[in-house]
Structure 1
Amino acid sequence: MAIHVVMEPPVSAGKNASEGAVFVRDGFYFFGFIAPLLWMLWHRLWVLAAVTFAVTLALGAVGEWSGLIAAVPLLSLLISLYVGLEGGALRVAALRRAGWRQWGVIEADTIEAAELRYLYAADDVAEEKLSAPMTIAPTAAPRQPPSGAALGLLHYPGRN
């Protein structure tokens, strides 16, 4: 089973959170490994693509200047391997910087099954909010987000 991180758009986007949710699969991104720059541009990771391109050019220049031209393809392979392994975490981090919030993590075989599980869970949460009595606590302490599991090298906080 694959693990999908569900990211909901900011409230200012004008969409219902469940309609605009993005599902980011945790796993190896083969196309991100084969063509990291194209993969990053496809997923609108503009700054990361520019930094990757600059680092690749710098590695080539340093390799040419120092006479270690044989090491340049190996270093480029490391960049490709990183993008292939951490592609999902890079997308989640970019969405979070854009103001998206993490709804949670869903385990499902396919993206369609993950979407169904998310829609059912979001519907249950909406029903709970409607049926719960309205109470106001004058001295309610701020809710601390629980610490969640980490996928890849970047840490994902728990459901907010």
Structure 2
Amino acid sequence: MTSSYLVLTAPGGTDSNHEKTRFIRDGFTILGFLFPWIWLAFHRLWLHAIAAFLLQSLGGALADRADLWPVGVAITFGTSLLVALEGQNLRIRNLVAKGWDEADLVSADSLQTAEEIYFSNVRTDTGDSRPAPSPQWDPTAHAPRHGNATSLGLFGFDGGR
């Protein structure tokens, strides 16, 4: 399943080897659902972590009462669901507020694939002013061969059958 990854670059530009470049997947976080306030605190979203802790504590206290347990369960579940769905967005907004730049949006199946796609489009500075060597193209090596090659009974590229 394809996910979207937002690429963020560090404040003040990127470093030469792009170690500070961050890829954040936009989507549901299972750990954010299971441990909402711990997940928020781990990502240094302190105020959101405190709010999630207080809401889950309130939900737990209401769930202990016999007449208010549905409300308590709803508050606890709602807090977990909200963090799971919007936690990554909170991380992105926090980093952008600190000066990080949104460089790109990449659609890929995994983080490794997203990194390969992004870094394949990034120009790298080799340090010298000479252009990078390019392979020599031999047009005769890749020229179409004419003959009676068939394409499963369909018309071939050479126009014949």
TM interval, shorter chain, is 0.5 to 0.7
> Does the CA-based 8 Å contact 1:9-1:17 persist in structure 2?
no
Give the Cα separation in 2 of the matches to 1:48 and 1:16: 34
Structure 2: which 5+ runs fail to align?
A: 130-161
The residue number in structure 2 matching 1:106 is 106
**Number of matched pairs:** 126
The residue number in structure 2 matching 1:30 is 30
5 Å-filtered alignment, 1:15-26, equals: 15-16=15-16, 18-26=18-26
TM-score (norm 1): 0.66
Cα 1:103/1:34, change in 2 over 3 Å: same
The residue number in structure 1 matching 2:9 is 8
Give per-residue Cα distances to partners, 1:83-141, cap 9 Å, x unaligned: 111122111111112211100100111111111111122227x79xx9xxxxxxxxxxx
Cα shift at 1:61: 6.1
> Does the CA-based 8 Å contact 1:18-1:122 persist in structure 2?
no
Give the Cα separation in 2 of the matches to 1:39 and 1:109: 23
Cα shift at 1:48: 1.3
Give percent identity, aligned residues only.
Answer: 30
Structure 1: which 5+ runs fail to align?
A: 131-160
RMSD: 3.0
Give per-residue Cα distances to partners, 1:26-67, cap 9 Å, x unaligned: 1111111111111112222222111222333455567889x6
TM-score (norm 2): 0.66
